[in-house]
Amino acid sequence: MPASSPRGLSILGSTGSVGTQTLEVAALFPERFVIHGLTAGSNVDLLAEQARRVRPQCVAIADASKAATLRDRLADTAVEVLAGADGLREVATLDAADLVMGAVVGFAGLPPVLAALRAGKDVALANKETLVVAGALVTEAQRAHGAHVLPVDSEHSAIFQCLTGEDDATVERIVLTASGGPFRTRDPKTFSAITPAEALDHPNWSMGSKITIDSATLMNKGLEVIEARWLFDLAPDAIDVLVHPQSIIHSMVAFSDGSMKAQLGVPDMKVPIQYALSYPERWPAPHERLDWTTIAALDFEPPNTDAFPCLRLAYDALRAGGTAPAVLNAANEVAVALFLDEAIGFMDIPRAVEEALQALAAPETPRDLDTLRAADAAARRHVKELLLPA
Ligand SMILES: NC(=O)c1ccc[n+]([C@@H]2O[C@H](COP(=O)([O-])OP(=O)(O)OC[C@H]3O[C@@H](n4cnc5c(N)ncnc54)[C@H](OP(=O)(O)O)[C@@H]3O)[C@@H](O)[C@H]2O)c1
């Protein structure tokens, strides 16, 4: 039992895959956390059920048209119901919470995370799009307000754990591992026939639909490369990607003396979620252990960027800088949503991203959220016009 008082926690995106697992982890340590705020996009049923269970000070639903229903569901409780982007920002900056889990998917997760950092709160960050789109702004907000970003993505948590106790100046390069997704061994000539159901069938991880499609195109690894650049202040050339189909090694760091450190475990997001919440401590927990007797081999191969161009496009956007990462992200979000709606094919995703980058990426580094919003909106319009011509 800890001697210190419990930490105040708010969870942005509590109804999603990372959000629900964050609640599961927090429930293992009831004496360590008080949950003050929860948010969802539109899932009233689950948000109301979670609010009745954990009794936060307030909840916010991004889809304001659902707020009245949510208020009805919680009318017999003291839980305050907020709505829209302002509601999410309010939850992200509640006085009582000093730690915020950023687990909204997509660009929508950026404004509340930035608000939390600017209010001096530590952020456990799952939402990789935040760092992809606004790495410079997030880094500046951290420095200016004495806040910390704690990685939740399993690869970045692995790097973070390998770096603990090390001098950053001794890091030569990092290696982000990638499962390769469900189409690693499929003939690329058949990629245009891939259906959403096939792409949603990830071999190792159970995740939300957007990140699962990103894993199938390898855009997820590309977004992680950009995320790593900001989290660990590394040049693009110092970030490698290695396909490792078993997802046992979560990532590695190579040091200047020739040593490498790796972090290993079963693919279970509750482990990196817990590390972000417990850092700098480690807390005992009943998560599944790695059983070496069941692992026949650990395999590795280079990524195939001809078959999966999204990874190459992400490196290109990182090297180009300016608005390129924001354009890459927005184009990808729109294309993935259209693919999930069966409106476009699998290979239209990289085509749309490449087109948008060529047409729109500008070299000036965006210095504020409004510039990023404009780049995001322009890329969304462009991709819709490209893929769904009138
Ligand atoms: N899942 C994983 O294992 C994993 C691992 C590493 C990193 N990540 C990253 O973590 C983030 C969340 O992933 P996930 O898999 O948990 O996604 P998810 O299951 O789709 O959940 C997304 C969450 O965001 C909410 N949301 C969706 N659109 C929103 C909007 N416009 N405004 C406000 N809230 C909105 C959703 O609410 P509703 O439920 O109401 O739609 C839900 O709470 C992503 O950036 C992903 O890349 C995920």
Q: Is 1 a residue whose pLDDT tops 50?
A: no
- The pocket around ligand 1, CB under 6 angstroms, is made up of 13-19, 40-43, 62, 88, 103-105, 108, 126-129, 153, 205, 207-208, 210-211, 269
- pLDDT, one tens digit per residue, over 51-106 is 999 999 999 999 999 999 999 999 999 999 999 999 999 999 999 999 999 999 99
Averaged pLDDT, 147-169: 98
- 66 and 194 in a single domain? The answer is no
- 173 and 309 in a single domain? The answer is yes
Q: How many domains, the chain?
A: 3
Q: Which helix H or strand E contains 11, and what residues bound it?
A: strand 7-12
- pLDDT, one tens digit per residue, over 328-379 is 999 999 999 999 999 999 999 999 999 999 999 999 989 899 999 999 999 9
- 364 and 295 in a single domain? The answer is no
Atom of ligand 1 nearest to the CA of 20: 16
Kindly state the tokens that stand for 61: 């639903």
Q: Report yes or no: 273 and 21 within 8 Å, Cβ to Cβ.
A: yes
Answer whether residue 161 is part of any domain: no
Q: What is the pLDDT of residue 349?
A: 98
Q: Report yes or no: 325 and 229 within 8 Å, Cβ to Cβ.
A: no
CATH number for the domain harbouring residue 381? 1.10.1740.10
Answer whether residue 232 is part of any domain: yes
Report CA(258)–ligand 1 centroid distance (Å). 38
Residue to mutate (ligand 1; options 15, 104, 334; most atoms within 8 A of CB): 104
| Residue among 383, 387, 338, 374 nearest 134 (CA) | 374
Residue to mutate (ligand 1; options 18, 155, 205; most atoms within 8 A of CB): 18
- pLDDT, one tens digit per residue, over 253-281 is 999 999 999 999 999 999 999 999 999 99
Q: Report yes or no: 353 and 313 within 8 Å, Cβ to Cβ.
A: yes
CA-closest residue to ligand 1 atom 6: 153
Report CA(254)–ligand 1 centroid distance (Å). 31
- 80 and 214 in a single domain? The answer is no
Rounded-to-integer distance, Cα 26 and Cα 300, Å: 35
Answer whether residue 277 is part of any domain: no
- What is the identity of the amino acid at 86? D
- 182 and 52 in a single domain? The answer is no
- 79 and 131 in a single domain? The answer is yes
- 126 and 196 in a single domain? The answer is no
Answer whether residue 158 is part of any domain: no
Atom of ligand 1 nearest to the CA of 12: 43
- 301 and 341 in a single domain? The answer is no
Q: What is the pLDDT of residue 5?
A: 86
CATH number for the domain harbouring residue 124? 3.40.50.720
Q: Which helix H or strand E contains 151, and what residues bound it?
A: strand 149-151
- Name the average pLDDT for the chain: 97
- 147 and 248 in a single domain? The answer is no
CA-closest residue to ligand 1 atom 28: 41
Averaged pLDDT, 378-385: 98
* pLDDT top residue among 389 and 238: 238
**CB-count exposure of residue 381 (10 Å: 0-12, 13-18, 19+):** middle
151-155, 200-204, 273-277, 295-299: range with lowest mean pLDDT: 200-204
Q: Is 133 a residue whose pLDDT tops 90?
A: yes
- Residue 3 confidence class, pLDDT cut points 50, 70, 90: low
Answer whether residue 159 is part of any domain: no
Range of the domain at 51: 7-151
Answer whether residue 21 is part of any domain: yes
- pLDDT, one tens digit per residue, over 6-41 is 999 999 999 999 999 999 999 999 999 999 999 999
SS3 call for 306: coil
Answer whether residue 2 is part of any domain: no
Give the Cβ contact number of residue 10 at 10 Å: 30
- Residue 202 confidence class, pLDDT cut points 50, 70, 90: confident
- 48 and 178 in a single domain? The answer is no
Residue to mutate (ligand 1; options 15, 211, 227, 266; most atoms within 8 A of CB): 211
- 183 and 122 in a single domain? The answer is no
Rounded-to-integer distance, Cα 126 and Cα 129, Å: 9
Kindly state the tokens that stand for 91: 């939850």
